[in-house]
Structure 1
Amino acid sequence: MNEAPLPALFTLLAVLIVLSAFFSSSETGMMSLNRYRLKHMAKTGHRGARLADRLLQRTDQLIGVILIGNNFINILASAIATVIAIRLYGDAGIAIATVLLTVVILIFAEVTPKTLAALFPERIAFPAAYVLRPLLKALYPVVWLVNLFTTLILRLLRVSAQDASSEHLSREELRTLVNEAGSLIPRRHKDMLVSILDLEKVTVNDIMVPRNEVVGLDLEDDIDTILRQVKASQHTRLPVFKGDINNIQGILHLRNLTRIVHQESINKAMLMQLCREPYFIPESTPLHTQLINFQKARRRIGIVVDEYGDVLGIATLEDILEEIVGDFTTDYAATSPDIIPQDDGTYIIDGSAHIRTINKALGWTLPTEGPKTLNGLITETLEIIPETNVCLLVQGVRIEVLQIKDNVVKAACVHPSPTMIASQPRRVGVE
C-alpha cells in the first residue's frame, strides 16, 4: 500500500466512503420500514419487499452483516487515509488524517445517507436488500460467530431476545393508526373502524330501548286490542308478556302471522304458538360480545335484564350495527326529534334522550359513566327528583329543566359552553 500511487489511494478511499454510506443508509432504511406496509407489499409480490421482509425476520443477523461490513470499511478507510496523510505531511499527517476523515465520514457516510434513508426508507432498503441478502450468505459464519458472542453477553446481562416487545398493535395504537391515516381512508370509514374498536367499551345497557319505551303485546288484553296493536306496529318483532313486562312469554315475529291471517277466528293460544322463546341478555354485556352471541344464537332481539332478573329494556342486532355504521333506518314511531336546536344556540332536549346520543349528535363530552339518559344525569347531579323547574351546571353545560311529569324530567333547555359551541358539528343528528 505504501508503494501504491496517491491517485489510486484517493480513488480507493472515495470508493470506501461510498460503501460506508451504503451500509449506513441500509441500516437506517431497513429499521425505518413500516413493517405492516412491508408485509402487504411482500404479499402482493414485490421482490424487494420480500427480500427485505426475510432479512428483517432475523434482525440480529441483518444488523450483524451491516455492522461487519461498515466497520471493516471504515477501519480500512482510516488506514488508507493515514497512509496518504503520512506521504503528504509526514508524522503530522496522522492527526490531520484523523480529523479530516472523521469529518468526511460523519458528513458523507453517516449523517447524509442516514437522513436520506430515514426520509425514503423504501427507496433505500429495497435495492439494498438485493446486496445484503447474498452478502449475508457469504459472511454467514462470521455473522453467526459475532451473534454468538453477542447472545452470551446479553444473557450475562439477563436480557433475552424474547423479551422484546411484540409487533402486534394494541387497540389504542390501532385507533391512533386509523385516525392518522389522513385521506388514505375516507372519514366515514374511519368512523366505522373506530366504532368497531369502541364496541368493547359500550355495554348493552348503553344502547338498549328502555322498558318504558318498549312496544309489546299484553296477553291480558282482549284479542281485538292485540290485533289492532299488531296492525299499527312499526316493528317486525314484538315482545309478548302477561300483565307486566317482567313476565315475558315470548317474541312474536309479525311475518309469522301470515300463517293464520286467513283463518276466521284468531285466539291468544294461536298467537303464542307463533312466538319464539325469549332470549335474555345481562345488562353489562359488552357490545362486541353480544354481537357474537346474537350470531351464535341466531337471534336479532334480546330482553335486557339486571342482576335480579328484572327487565330493563330490549336490545336488537340493529342497535349494535347502528353503533358501527350509524343510523340506517327511520324511526317512524318518533313524531319529533329528541334534540331541537333553537335560534339562540341552545337546545331543547327530551329527558329520555341518551347521553351518548347527545354527545354523538352535538360533539359534546357529557359524562357517560353513570346515568344513561339526560333525566338520569339531572336527578343524579341534583341528588333529588326536581319538583319545580330548576337550573344546574354539569361540566360547563347549563341545563334548565322545562317540564316534569310523573317524577321524570320530560324536557330541558341545554346551554352549551363556548368551547362546545366551537367544536360541535354543523349538522344536528345522530351519525
Structure 2
Amino acid sequence: MDADSTVPFLTGLLIFLVFASAYFSSSETSMMSLNRYRLKHLVRQKHHGAMRVSRLLEAPDKLLGVILIGNNFVNLLSASIATSIAIQVFGNPETVLTTVVLTLVILIFAEITPKTIAALHPERIAYPSSLLLVVLLKVLYPLVWMANRVSHLLIRAFGINSVAGNDHQLSPEELRTVVHESAQMIPAQGQGMLLNVLDLEKVTVNDILVPRSEITGIDLEDDVNDILTQIGNTQHTRLPVYKKDIDHVVGVLHMRSVGKLVQSSDINREDITRELDPPYFIPESTPLHTQLFNFQSNRKRLAFVVDEYGDIKGIITLEDILEEIVGEFTTDIADSSLDVHPQADGTYLIDGTATLREINRALDWELDSDTAKTLNGLIVENLESIPDSPVGLQMGEYFAEIVQVKDNLIKTARMWRQPAAEPDHESDG
C-alpha cells in the first residue's frame, strides 16, 4: 500500500481515536458528576443503567484506572498517527506544527466539549457509556490491577489511607443547604417544614414551654362551682390539676372526661380526681425531636417541665412541638400577635413574657436566646438588675425601651431594630 492510499485510512483512524478520547473524557466526568442520592433512588427502582453505574462506582480506583488507561492509550496512539500523517504529507515530521494542531484538536474535541456536555447531562452520558466500561474493565483488568497496585503503594508512601471510606452522608447543615437549593422543586411551605424538622434537635423543651406563670389549671382547693365554671369556659383540651399551686400537681384532666361528670347531679372533688391522668414530668434540657418521640411512645400529649431541682418551670404539649414544624395552627390574627404589637412609628410593643424564639420568628430578628428565653430575661441579663423605672438600652442592633415594670417583672417594652451602618469607604483616606 503506497503512501497516498494510507493517508485517508490514517486520517479516519485519527478521527476515530479523537472520538474514543472524547468518550473516555465524557465518561469520567459524567460518572463523577452523578447525583449520588438520585442514583441510589434509581437503583432501588431497578434501573439497569443506574445499577450498572453503581457497581462501577463501588470501586472508583478501578473505574478511573480503566478510563485513564484507555484515554492515555488513544491519545498516545493519536500522536503517533498524526506524526505519521505529517511525514507522508509534508515529507518530514513537522513536529511543532503537528503537536500544536493535535493539542488543539484533543483539547477542544476530546476534552473541553465532551466534559462540558457530560457535566451538564451526566445521566445521559454515564448510563450508556457504562456498558462499554464494564467490558473494558474485564478485558483490561490485569493492567488496571497492576496500575492501581503501584498507585496504592505510592499513596501509602505519602502517609495517605488508600482505603478511606466513600462517605456520602450529609450533616444537618449540609442537608439544610440541600433543602434551600431545592426551592424550585419544593413548595415554600414544605421547604419551611423540612427546615423546622432539622431545627428540632437544636431546640429544647425549655425554649418553647409555657412558663408556670401562664399555666391555666384547676386548683382543687377552689369552690366546686368555680371549678365547674372554669371547666365550662376553658379553651383547652387538657387542664393541669393541682392543690394550692402548680408545684403540687396531682394530674391532668381531659375535657372528654367531663362528660361523665356532668351526668352526675352532685359533683365533688373526689369525682374530678378519679378522672385525672397521672402527671408526666420531663427535664428542661430534653431536645424537641426526642420529646416528640417520647410523647409518641408514652402516648402522652402534655408534660410538666422540671428544672434540675425538680421544680416545675412550665408545661409543653404535643401541639407546641408540631407548631414548631408546621407553624401556628390558629388562623386568628389577634391570637397570633398577642405579644407583639406593631406601632405606627415602626416600633413594636412587646410583652415581657414573650419568648425570644416567638419574637425572632414573628419579626425575623436574631435576638440571642442562648441564655435568656424571654424578653424580660434578656433585658434583665443585659442591665444586670431589675429596673425600677423606665430606661432604655441597646443590644447590638436592637434597641429596647422599658415601658412598664410590675412585680419585679418587665411587663412591656418598646423595641425596634437599627441595622448596622455600612462602612463609608469614600471617606477613608
**TM-score past 0.5 threshold:** yes
Match of 1:153 in 2: 154
Q: 1:340 to 1:333 in 2, by over 3 A?
A: closer
User: Does structure 1 residue 53 correspond to structure 2 residue 48?
Assistant: no
Q: Contact (CA 8 Å) 1:304, 1:315: kept in 2 or not?
A: yes
Match of 1:402 in 2: 403
Secondary structure at 2:262 match in 1:
coil
* Cα distance in 1 between the residues matched to 2:416 and 2:194: 32
Query: Cα deviations across residues 161-195 of structure 1 (Å, max 9, x unaligned)?
Result: 44245101111000001011121111111110010
Secondary structure at 2:202 match in 1:
coil
* Cα distance in 1 between the residues matched to 2:383 and 2:71: 71
Q: Contact (CA 8 Å) 1:86, 1:94: kept in 2 or not?
A: no
Alignment of 1:121-270 (within 5 A): 121-164=122-165, 166-270=167-271
* Cα distance in 2 between the residues matched to 1:224 and 1:204: 35
Match of 1:287 in 2: 288
Alignment of 1:35-54 (within 5 A): 35-54=36-55
Shift of 1:289: 0.9
* Cα distance in 2 between the residues matched to 1:193 and 1:55: 33
Secondary structure at 1:348 match in 2:
strand
Q: 1:165 to 1:389 in 2, by over 3 A?
A: farther
User: Does structure 1 residue 322 correspond to structure 2 residue 358?
Assistant: no
Alignment of 1:87-106 (within 5 A): 87-106=88-107
Q: 1:278 to 1:233 in 2, by over 3 A?
A: same
Query: Cα deviations across residues 246-292 of structure 1 (Å, max 9, x unaligned)?
Result: 11111111211222321222221221111111110111111011111
Partner AA of 1:181 in structure 2? S
Shift of 1:138: 2.8
Partner AA of 1:84 in structure 2? I
TM-score, scaled to structure 1: 0.92
Secondary structure at 2:184 match in 1:
helix
Query: Cα deviations across residues 316-339 of structure 1 (Å, max 9, x unaligned)?
Result: 111000000001136899697211
Match of 1:31 in 2: 32
Q: Which has the larger displacement, 219-228 or 362-371?
A: 219-228
Q: Contact (CA 8 Å) 1:9, 1:84: kept in 2 or not?
A: yes
Match of 1:115 in 2: 116
Match of 2:425 in 1: none
Secondary structure at 1:249 match in 2:
strand
Q: 1:105 to 1:82 in 2, by over 3 A?
A: same
Q: 1:335 to 1:104 in 2, by over 3 A?
A: closer
Match of 1:5 in 2: 6
Task: Figure out how many residues of one structure are paired with residues of the other and give that number.
Answer: 420
Q: 1:336 to 1:158 in 2, by over 3 A?
A: closer
Shift of 1:91: 4.5
Query: Cα deviations across residues 59-86 of structure 1 (Å, max 9, x unaligned)?
Result: 1221111112111111111111121222
Q: Which has the larger displacement, 349-358 or 138-147?
A: 138-147
Q: Contact (CA 8 Å) 2:305, 2:316: kept in 1 or not?
A: yes
Secondary structure at 2:330 match in 1:
coil
Q: Contact (CA 8 Å) 2:351, 2:412: kept in 1 or not?
A: yes
Q: Contact (CA 8 Å) 1:178, 1:193: kept in 2 or not?
A: yes
Q: 1:257 to 1:183 in 2, by over 3 A?
A: same
* Cα distance in 2 between the residues matched to 1:367 and 1:327: 22
Shift of 1:49: 2.6
Shift of 1:419: 6.9
Root-mean-square deviation over aligned CA pairs: 2.2
Secondary structure at 2:278 match in 1:
coil
Q: Contact (CA 8 Å) 2:397, 2:420: kept in 1 or not?
A: no
Partner AA of 1:237 in structure 2? R
Partner AA of 2:250 in structure 1? Q
Q: 1:406 to 1:335 in 2, by over 3 A?
A: farther
* Cα distance in 2 between the residues matched to 1:161 and 1:271: 70
* Cα distance in 2 between the residues matched to 1:203 and 1:345: 32
Q: Which runs of 5 or more structure 2 residues have no equivalent in the other structure?
A: 422-429
Query: Cα deviations across residues 403-431 of structure 1 (Å, max 9, x unaligned)?
Result: 111111111111222579xxxxxxxxxxx
* Cα distance in 1 between the residues matched to 2:333 and 2:54: 55
* Cα distance in 1 between the residues matched to 2:418 and 2:77: 69
Q: Contact (CA 8 Å) 1:234, 1:332: kept in 2 or not?
A: no
Q: Contact (CA 8 Å) 2:393, 2:401: kept in 1 or not?
A: yes
Query: Cα deviations across residues 32-55 of structure 1 (Å, max 9, x unaligned)?
Result: 111112222333344333322222
Query: Cα deviations across residues 8-59 of structure 1 (Å, max 9, x unaligned)?
Result: 1111111111111110111011111111122223333443333222222221
Partner AA of 1:29 in structure 2? S
Query: Cα deviations across residues 335-384 of structure 1 (Å, max 9, x unaligned)?
Result: 97211111111111111111111111111111111211111111111111
Match of 1:303 in 2: 304
In percent, how many aligned pairs have the same letter? 54
Secondary structure at 2:81 match in 1:
helix
Partner AA of 2:252 in structure 1? I
Match of 1:273 in 2: 274
Shift of 1:134: 2.4
